[in-house]
Amino acid sequence: DAASAAVGAAASAGAEMSAEEKKAMREEKKRQKEAEKAAKAARRAEEAAAAAQAAADLEALSTGIEFLSVESVPQQQYGSYALIQSKVDAEKGSGRKFVTVESLADVAPTSSGDGGVWVRARVANVRGKGRCVFLVLRQMRATVQAVLNEGPPRVP
């Protein structure tokens, strides 16, 4: 920035400058400030374009994915499911009563008699044996084993 050094040197000799030199110095400062503003605006425009592109890329990833409704009953016991992304009204909720894995021993059977409960956990391990699949579900430190049988669910 030789121009700013020249402006700074001229400013130190401000008493000795003519009116034309002072005017030239002010104009140079204005040009520098405008150049800084233009660079800042260009940087912000680039950031906004990058953010818009990232949002468009994210939207493109989710296009064509089938989502399950929280009100729908699963049509199959296991296999490939659509995503549920917890898109429910916060006031109404999903209507499902989730149970923590730690408290499963204390859960009474449901009134419908099917013994089913909703658990939100991650699958820690899967083993297949014959026509059964054994899942180890983990929620923080607690684990539970779930069994899936091929075919329709059997009510005890």
Helix or strand run (H / E) with residue 128: strand 122-129
Place of tokens 């030199």: 21
pLDDT at 78 over 90: no
Pairwise CA distance, residues 112 & 91, whole Å: 25
pTM for the structure as a whole: 0.40
**Overall average pLDDT of the 128-140 stretch:** 90
Mean pLDDT of the 28-49 span: 95
Evaluate whether 81 touches 100 at the Cβ level (below 8 Å).
no
The more confident residue out of 5 and 26 is 26
Where does the pLDDT of residue 154 fall: very low under 50, low under 70, confident under 90, or very high at 90 and above? low
